[in-house]
């Protein structure tokens, strides 16, 4: 899915968060939105996912406008918010079956089994209530939920938080293959975990002082700022 944003503006009261924000998220690519705490990353993702309104500008999803977004386009977006959407009283099997049914997933049992096997391997957790899970285990269930309908647009806000290196590695591998397996897929991810971002090797979009300060590859970032990603961002965020 392609998302085109033109001159997007968003304020909370008197606080301006996004000013004249324009970007095209193209098919077949992974994008990473970077920016210091409070830069506006989650705000942007929440706007794209139709969760909060914006003040002015235009957003298009393929050829559809934000204001008249058909259900089939909305259903083709998978959003992992920084706020957990799990229902803690349910077991993973109950929760994932619910989500699979909402998205009319074909052969939901098989799909759930496949995802749980990938993320949990030999752990037998499907019938244990989510409220007994650790932070990382909950994150992996959230992953299963966001991937269950194989969306063309995958939008992930801080997907690595709480994951151990094995869990993070699984996500990196999954994301790295996701856009190349099937045409038309796009991923947008935010994270402060730069080592993981480097592994995914996305197109970077650096938000700073309400605007895009840099857009391009990690290699080009290093050349432009004469620093590695970590040191370059520390310098930019500290200005």
Helix (H, G, I), strand (E, B) or coil at 64: strand
Q: CA angle at residue 63 from 176 to 77, to 5 degrees?
A: 40
Does 12 participate in binding ligand ATP (rule CB under 6 A)?
Answer: yes
Report how far Cα 33 is from the mean position of its chain's Cα atoms: 9
Does 48 participate in binding ligand ATP (rule CB under 6 A)?
Answer: no
Q: Which is nearer to ligand ATP, 42 or 91 (CB)?
A: 42
Q: Which is nearer to ligand ATP, 40 or 78 (CB)?
A: 40
Does 39 participate in binding ligand ATP (rule CB under 6 A)?
Answer: yes
Does 37 participate in binding ligand ATP (rule CB under 6 A)?
Answer: yes
Q: Which is nearer to ligand ATP, 116 or 236 (CB)?
A: 236
Alpha-carbon distance 53 to 71, whole Å?
A: 18
**Of the residues 38, 70, 177, 216, which one makes contact with ligand ATP according to CB under 6 A:** 38
Q: Which is nearer to ligand ATP, 15 or 88 (CB)?
A: 15
Q: Is 86 exposed, middle or buried (0-12, 13-18, 19+ CB in 10 A)?
A: middle
Helices (H), 67-134: 71-74, 92-102, 108-120
Helix (H, G, I), strand (E, B) or coil at 154: strand
Nearest approach in angstroms of CB 160 to ligand ATP is 13
Helix (H, G, I), strand (E, B) or coil at 161: coil
Of the candidate spans 21-29, 34-42, 91-99, 195-203, the one that interacts with ligand ATP by CB under 6 A turns out to be 34-42
Nearest to 47 by CA among 10, 82, 16, 76: 10
Of the candidate spans 1-9, 12-20, 53-61, 224-232, the one that interacts with ligand ATP by CB under 6 A turns out to be 12-20
Place of tokens 């869990």: 167
Does 51 participate in binding ligand ATP (rule CB under 6 A)?
Answer: no
Of the candidate spans 35-43, 85-93, 130-138, 148-156, the one that interacts with ligand ATP by CB under 6 A turns out to be 35-43
Q: Which parts of this chain interact with ligand ATP (CB under 6 A)?
A: 12, 15, 17, 35, 37-43
């Amino acid at each position: 899915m392609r998302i085109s944003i033109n001159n997007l503006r968003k304020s909370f009261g008197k606080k301006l968060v996004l000013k004249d924000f324009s970007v095209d998220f193209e098919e077949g690519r992974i994008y990473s939105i970077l920016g210091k705490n409070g830069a506006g990353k989650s705000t942007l993702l929440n706007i794209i996912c139709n969760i909060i309104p914006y003040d002015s500008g235009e957003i298009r999803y393929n050829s559809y406008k934000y204001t008249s977004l058909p259900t089939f386009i909305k259903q083709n977006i998978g959003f992992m918010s920084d706020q957990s959407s799990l229902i803690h009283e349910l077991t993973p099997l109950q929760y994932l079956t619910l989500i699979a049914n909402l998205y009319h997933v074909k052969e939901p049992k098989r799909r759930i089994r496949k995802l749980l096997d990938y993320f949990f391997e030999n752990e037998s957790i499907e019938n244990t209530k989510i409220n007994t899970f650790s932070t990382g285990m909950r994150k992996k269930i959230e992953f299963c939920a966001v991937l269950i309908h194989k969306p063309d647009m995958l939008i992930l806000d801080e997907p690595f938080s709480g994951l151990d290196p094995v869990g993070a590695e699984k996500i990196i591998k999954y994301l790295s293959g996701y856009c190349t397996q099937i045409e038309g897929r796009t991923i947008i991810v935010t994270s402060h975990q730069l080592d993981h971002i480097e592994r995914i090797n996305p197109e970077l979009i650096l938000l700073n002082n309400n605007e895009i300060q840099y857009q391009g590859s990690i290699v080009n970032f290093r050349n432009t700022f004469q620093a590695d990603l970590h040191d370059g961002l520390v310098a930019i965020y500290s200005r």
